Structure 1
C-alpha cells in the first residue's frame, strides 16, 4: 500500500488497532481514521472487514504476512502504521512471524516503530537468541517514538540497548525540547558512532494539533549535526512561526503544557509568535531548506 509519509515508500499492516500510552498518542491519526471508517462501516458503507471493529480492538491479519515477499521491487516499508507491533496484546508468536518475513524478504528495508520500547527490547533479544544472531541485520531498522523529555527518559535507553544495526527516533509530534546528548555521546565499539543513527522530527497536524516551537526542532537538528546523526524534518504541522511584520500573529506559544497556545501575550518572556496556516502551507522547510537525510548517508529520492 502506497503512503504519503515522507520518510517511507509503503506501509505494511499485519496488525491493526492500538491503545494510547502517552501525550504523543492524544491526537493519533490512526485512531481518528480507523474509527471514522468504523462508524461508516456500521452505517452500511462498503469498507474492508477490518473496520467492523473499533480501533481499540487489536486485529491480527495472518493473510497479510506474505505481502512483502510478493513485492519484488525493493522499497522502504513502515511496519504497522496502523498499530504498534509490540503492543501487549500482540502475541509473541505472531511478532516472530513478522520478523521471519522481514528476514526472508531481505531486499526491502523495514522501519519498525514503537512506543513500547521495553517489550521491543525483550522480544528482539529473545528473537536474536533463538536465531543465533548477534544483532538484527541492516535492512531491519528499529525505532522508538519520542515526543518530549519524559518519553526520552522512558524509551531511548531501551533502544540503545537493543542489538540492531540501525536505530532511530521519531520525534513526531514534537511536543517539547529533547536533550539526547547522553545517548548520542554513547558510541558503538565497532563503528565509533552513536547508537542512534537517524532522527525524524515533525509537528502535529489535524484539528486538535498542538504547535511545535522552532527551537525544539532546531535543537534536534543541531544535535544531529554535532554527533553525525542523519536528520529528517517531516513537517511543521498546523502551525508556522510568524514572520510577516505587516500582520499581527495569531498565537503566542510557550513551553507550558507542551506547546501551550495563548491568545494574548503570556506573562513571562519566553514565547514564539505563531500562525495556524495548515499542514500544506506550513510545509517542511527548516531554515530555508529541506532535511531529507537517511541513516545510510543518502538523501530522499527527488521523486
Structure 2
C-alpha cells in the first residue's frame, strides 16, 4: 500500500487484500507473486518484514485495518485497488467486497481503479444493483448499494469507480470483455499487460464517446486501454506490431490509449544491443522482419514510434 506509486497510470495503491492464485497465461510470471514469495521465505527465516509476508502469496489475506486508508489521503488522486491481489477472488467474502465499495463511495474526491481477471464474479455481484445516494452537501454520495426496484435518484454505478479487466491475448479478450460490458461502471478499461499476442478489439471500443457519464450511454463500451510488455527475469517478448495495432484501433474509435512500457525486450539497432552493459543479451526473432533484443525494462523505456502515449479518460462527474 503506497501513498505514491511507480505505476505510470495511477497515483497510489491501496491493498486491503493481499494474495492471489494464477488463472491464465498473463499470471505465469506475476511480479507480485514472485516478490511476495521471496519475502515470505525471508520472513520464515527470521527476517523482520511486514505481517503480510507471514503467508505465501497463494493464501489470500484480508486486512480490515487498511480499509480506512483512503480517508487519510486528502489530496484527490487515482487509486489502484488491490495491486497485490484481485478484489473478486473467490476467497474474498462478499461482505468484505461491499466494505471496499462503501469506502470508495465515502471518498468521492478520489478515483478508484479496480482491475480483475475474474469478471464473472464482478458481473454477478454488481449487475442488477444500483447505488442510493444518502449524502449531504458536506459529504456527497455517501451511498448504499441496493438490489431491487430502481428509485428516482439512484444510479447504476459509483461515479468515482473505474472497473477493468486484464487482457493478455485474444482468448482473454473474448472471455473477459463481454463480462466487463455486462457490469455497470463509470469507466470500463482494459489492462493489456503483459500483452502476449495480437488482439482485435473491434466491437468492444465505441467511437464518439464525449466523456460525460451523466448522459445516456448508447451502448456498452470500453473507455480506456492500457498496453505494456512483460518485465522480470522470465519476461516474454512483445511484437511491436501488436502494440501499434491496438493503438490504431483506439485512435480510430476515439478511445484513450496508454502505453506503459516495452518490458524487458525492445526492437533496437543491432549495434545498440552490443553496447557496454547490454552486450551478449539474447535476441528473439518473431519473423525475418522483426527481431527484439533483451535490453532491460529501463533501457527499453516506453516510447512508441518516437513518443509517449499517456492518454487518460476525461470524465465529467
Structure-2 change in CA distance of 1:125 and 1:191 (3 Å): closer
Asked whether 1:225 is paired with 2:251, we answer yes
Could you state the TM-score of these two structures normalised by the residue count of structure 2?
A: 0.84
Structure-2 change in CA distance of 1:185 and 1:4 (3 Å): closer
Structure-2 change in CA distance of 1:294 and 1:194 (3 Å): farther
Q: Determine the structure 1 residue equivalent to 2:173.
A: 152
Give the stretch that moved more between structures: 8-17 or 182-191.
182-191
Task: Tell me the SS of whatever aligns to 1:181.
Answer: coil
Task: Tell me the SS of whatever aligns to 2:203.
Answer: helix
Give the stretch that moved more between structures: 81-90 or 191-200.
191-200
Report the CA distance between 1:135 and its aligned residue: 2.0
Asked whether 1:84 is paired with 2:86, we answer yes
Asked whether 1:12 is paired with 2:14, we answer yes
Flag structure 1 segments of 5+ consecutive residues without an equivalent: 255-268, 299-303
Which 4+ stretches in 1 moved above 6 angstroms?
186-189, 245-249
CA offset digits 1:36-58 (Å, max 9, x no partner): 11011011111111111000101
Instruction: Decide which of 294, 297, 301 is 1:283's aligned counterpart.
Output: 301
Matches within 5 A, 1:89-104: 89-104=91-106
Matched residues in 2 for 1:246 and 1:33: separation? 30
Structure-2 change in CA distance of 1:136 and 1:253 (3 Å): farther
Structure-2 change in CA distance of 1:89 and 1:126 (3 Å): farther
Q: Determine the structure 2 residue equivalent to 1:259.
A: none
Q: Determine the structure 2 residue equivalent to 1:183.
A: 204
Instruction: Decide which of 280, 293, 296 is 2:314's aligned counterpart.
Output: 296
Report the CA distance between 1:125 and its aligned residue: 2.0
Q: Determine the structure 2 residue equivalent to 1:208.
A: 234
Q: Determine the structure 1 residue equivalent to 2:74.
A: 72
Task: Tell me the SS of whatever aligns to 1:169.
Answer: strand
Instruction: Decide which of 116, 124, 127 is 1:125's aligned counterpart.
Output: 127
Q: Determine the structure 1 residue equivalent to 2:33.
A: 31
Flag structure 2 segments of 5+ consecutive residues without an equivalent: 132-144, 210-214, 275-280
CA offset digits 1:227-268 (Å, max 9, x no partner): 0000000000000013346878942333xxxxxxxxxxxxxx
Matched residues in 1 for 2:288 and 2:220: separation? 32
RMSD: 2.2
Could you state the TM-score of these two structures normalised by the residue count of structure 1?
A: 0.88
Matched residues in 2 for 1:87 and 1:238: separation? 29
